[in-house]
Amino acid sequence: MSRIVVNFMHGRGLIFNAEDYLKLRFEYRIVGNLIGVPVSHPRNVNQQGMPVVLSAYEVKLLLDKEIITLVDKTGVLQQVPSEEQSQQYGAMVEQQKQEMHMPVVEKRLEAFRKHMPRIIEGKRRKLLKSGVKEEDIHLDPEQLLDQEKERIMQEKFDQMVQIPINHPLPLEFFERPIALSAQEDVKYRVFESLWQQGGFITTGDAFGCDFLLYPGDPMCFHASHTVHVLAGGVSQKLDAKYLIRICRLSVVVNKLCVIAYVDVSSDEVHFETLEWEGNVTNKGDTF
């Protein structure tokens, strides 16, 4: 199986190929984050499009599973293109213009064919008025069609030049690994454990947690759990305010609160689910 190429740029993993992204999403449950604009609605700020940026944990997981190849093209992309590359790109742009031009030409010619009898009659009358004898008038429909096509081809049309997301020319690159800090490595262990158990995982910055856990694709499901990672493991001191804060937060967003940590003695990832019940002893009080 050929690996998917992920570009390492500005400290992040980027995917520019839509088919590669769909494969990662539907086959490997990697969500990523769309950061571009949709081609069909470039001015719509409420929708995102290609490219896709992957988190460091997603990149690390895919590298460990030998699903992707992380490449660095930064140096090559910063170089001035050669004369040959400029000519190749110019030829590609001209081909795109021709491909956009031909449907317009065909549409105009189709209308010309539809009205061919009226066009021939109009030209015949014009020739008669100019003094040409009836027997000297010879109007060939195919010749008229060729003349019309030549005229249309010389006209200028408004055209949109496509700016490719993925680099259109082959480039040299080198593979590179991804390095995580000690704290990020703990979070990666948690991310990997959650991924192995199924479901979809995304970053939880918008909900004040480390990860969000989904029972299915985030396009169809809301997150069911907020996951908070204890970088210090079981030895990390937890105060009551922190526990109250994360529990109340999960209640507000209607999700279950999960604390995750790595047990140093067994080197295994453990999960603890917390549920906020409020002040149980005062439930019967009336005010």
Catalytic residue numbers, as ranges: 214, 222, 255
The answer to whether position 244 is within a domain reads yes
Q: Which domain, by its residues, includes 129?
A: 84-154
Asked whether residue 141 falls in the same domain as residue 206, the answer is no
Is 120 found in the same domain as 54? no
- Highest average pLDDT, of 27-36, 70-79, 164-173, 238-247, comes from 27-36
Q: Looking at the domain assignment, is residue 115 inside a domain?
A: yes
Q: Is residue 113 part of a domain?
A: yes
Identify the pLDDT of residue 236.
74
Domain with residue 16: its CATH number is: 3.40.1170
Do 185 and 267 belong together in one domain?
yes
Answer whether residue 169 is part of any domain: no
Domain count, the chain: 3
Q: What is the model's pLDDT at position 287?
A: 35
In the chain, how many H helices and how many E strands? 8, 11
The last residue of one of the domains, among 43, 60, 79, is 79
Q: Do the domain assignments include residue 222?
A: yes
Among the candidates 79, 104, 122, a domain finishes at 79
Give residue 277's Cα distance to chain centre.
41
Per-residue pLDDT, averaged over 105-128, amounts to 87
pLDDT given for residue 189 in this prediction: 95
pLDDT at 256: 92
Same-domain check for residues 11 and 92? no
- Tokens 């005010």 correspond to 287
Q: Give 176's pLDDT tier (boundaries 50, 70, 90).
A: confident
pTM of the full structure: 0.72
**Last residue of some domain: 79, 105, 133?**
79
In a domain, 3, yes or no: yes
In a domain, 287, yes or no: no
Question: Tell me, what CATH number does 261's domain have?
Answer: 3.40.1350.10
Please name the residue ranges forming H helices in the chain.
Answer: 18-28, 56-64, 74-77, 83-114, 116-129, 141-154, 182-196, 240-252
What does the pLDDT look like over 45-63, one tens digit per residue? Answer: 778 888 999 999 999 999 9
Where residue 283 falls among pLDDT bands split at 50, 70, 90?
very low
116-129 and 83-114 helices, crossing angle to 10°: 80
Query: 11 with 72, same domain?
Result: yes
